[in-house]
Structure 1
Amino acid sequence: KKQSDTRVEWKKISGKDVSFVYFQGSFIGNFKGRAEIRHSSIQIKNVTRKDSGKYRCEISTPSEHGQEAGETEITLLVLVPSAVPVCEVPISAMSGTVVELRCKENEGVPASKYRWYRNNFPLSESLMLGNVKKDRLPYAMNTTSGTLLFNHVSKNDTGEYYCEADNEIGQPQKCPVKRMQVDDLNVSGIIAAVVIVALIIASCGLGVYYAQKKGYFSSKYICFYN
């Protein structure tokens, strides 16, 4: 039995699709130049997240009883550090409204966990924030989706916000700081504006009525020129 008589094949399995990695003594596709065979094992260099997946090794060798074959499957998971997340923070908001801040990065493997900071202090997830119970916290932070939700934002929530993504592979990454300004709704100003508009409309209506009364809209004042 010669070593050269042994057939070794490697395949990558993606759902129902099967593609060759190593076939007839050569690597196939993007594995050329960055993979090498060692006995029946393969070593891949410069792996990327695209290399993650299920691989199957098939070996067959001649014997006294004919061809003997065997196979085994392994799963490769390429770990990728968190990338710099993209943060969505509104520039301004009115107090009492619902405001949601978003943070996301799609490169890290495994998926990142997220934490929000305000004025360089981490927002709490603990049972207590000072003397405030968790169920009375003015926000809800989802460390999986990266959202920070204010059901009733207030002026106290004004500040500089940023989010940090971390999957414990490499260093945590954070987005640039963005400021959110929360202002009270100026009810008196709105009422004053509504009153002024109403007075203007009323004045226009009185003007039209007066003009009709004086006959300014009469047909005798309409002239046609050739």
Structure 2
Amino acid sequence: MASRRLRLLLLGYLGVLYYRNVAGIAIETDNKNVKAEEFKEAILSCKHKFSKGSSSQRIEWKKIHSQGVSFVYYEGEFKGDLRDRAEMLNTGIRIRNVTRKDSGTYRCEISVKSEEGQRLGEATITLTVLVPPTTPVCVVPSSAVTGTVVELSCKEAEGSPPSEYQWYKNGVALLEKTGTGTARTADITYTMNKKSGTLIFNAVSKNDTGEYFCVASNGIGLPQKCSVKRMQVDDLNVSGIIAAVVIVALLMALCGLIVLCAQKKRCFSKESSSQKSSSQSTSEKDFKHTKSFVI
């Protein structure tokens, strides 16, 4: 019983000692969400204050991503792609010529040894590199049949943040249907998704015939537009389908007759060959008989 109490007292003392020797440092940052345009510079702020009795300090920067954590600044130097593009400041780091690959979450970690023991602190900053959109790729069917489901798509993959899309018909922006049920949107027969860039007609009609194009924008640079494409909507041509079926049936019948004639010709050729062979055999027999008679 006494030994158990002694162990508990020892563990409690070690816990108090650890808390005293490893304490936190107040880390401040000017901006936890840094945004910078591509090919310009970004500053990730990491400020701290130490007591006068601090004997040594260690600063590390890491990048957090889906595969884990990688070092950005370690043992007094930058690592990887930032080796020649970044520099250490008293208040953080500066990254020059940022690219879209630099976007992500960074963590500043500081460790200080002082008379009071070791002190730790960290701060997390998110860097978003802003990239203007490129020309989107639009897919618009050239023709459609009334009453069918038709989907138009628009997409570009370079913009950061991701682009939003606006569809136009004959140069006029299409309205986005809302749940308010206003008179202006009550007759809309399509569904437009500005985030995915799709424009879906659940039952396309002749009135939907026109020239369509899409514009991608994300607030960075100029909006980008795809080329204009025309969609023609027509009724189902029943007489044309019947005529096509009749023509196909006639062609199939003609092909059948050709095959049948070819087979008959082949049989006739075999019969002629057989008769010719029989006649030749009879002639040979007559020739042999005549020769024997003469002798």
Superposition RMSD on alpha carbons, in Å?
3.5
**2:272 aligned partner:** 223
Match of 2:74 among 15, 20, 23: 23
**1:65 aligned partner:** 116
Q: CA deviation at 1:120?
A: 1.0
- Equivalence map 1:112-151=2 (5 Å): 112-125=163-176, 133-134=185-186, 136-151=187-202
- Change over 3 Å in CA distance of 1:129–1:192 after alignment to 2: farther
Between Structure 1 and Structure 2, which shows a larger proportion of helix residues? 2
For the 8 Å contact 2:55–2:113, the answer to whether it is kept is no
Q: CA deviation at 1:197?
A: 5.1
**1:165 aligned partner:** 216
For 2:85 and 2:193, the matched residues in 1 are separated by: 40
Secondary structure in 2 matching 1:62: strand
Q: CA deviation at 1:70?
A: 1.9
For structure 2, the 5+ residue unaligned runs are 1-51, 278-295
For 1:175 and 1:141, the matched residues in 2 are separated by: 17
Q: CA deviation at 1:42?
A: 0.4
Q: CA deviation at 1:155?
A: 2.5
| TM-score normalized by the length of structure 1 | 0.80
Q: CA deviation at 1:131?
A: 6.4
- Change over 3 Å in CA distance of 1:186–1:18 after alignment to 2: same
Give the aligned residue type for 2:127: L
Q: CA deviation at 1:77?
A: 2.1
Percent of counterpart pairs with the same letter?
59
- Change over 3 Å in CA distance of 1:131–1:16 after alignment to 2: closer
Q: CA deviation at 1:169?
A: 2.3
For the 8 Å contact 2:177–2:192, the answer to whether it is kept is no
Pair 1:189-2:240 in alignment: yes
Match of 1:111 among 162, 180, 200: 162
Match of 1:44 among 95, 109, 127: 95
For 1:130 and 1:66, the matched residues in 2 are separated by: 68
- Give the total of aligned pairs: 221
Secondary structure in 1 matching 2:81: helix
Give a deviation string over 1:6-55, Cα, whole Å, max 9, x none: 22111111146211111122111110221111115001112122212221
- Change over 3 Å in CA distance of 1:62–1:202 after alignment to 2: closer
Give a deviation string over 1:106-157, Cα, whole Å, max 9, x none: 22222221111111111122569996643x4222111121111112222322
Match of 2:125 among 74, 77, 88: 74
- Change over 3 Å in CA distance of 1:169–1:204 after alignment to 2: closer
Higher mean alpha-carbon deviation, 119-128 vs 99-108, is at: 119-128
For the 8 Å contact 2:177–2:191, the answer to whether it is kept is no
**2:230 aligned partner:** 179
Higher mean alpha-carbon deviation, 115-124 vs 69-78, is at: 69-78
| TM-score normalized by the length of structure 2 | 0.63
Secondary structure in 2 matching 1:188: helix
For 2:116 and 2:53, the matched residues in 1 are separated by: 15
Secondary structure in 1 matching 2:272: coil
- Change over 3 Å in CA distance of 1:33–1:193 after alignment to 2: closer
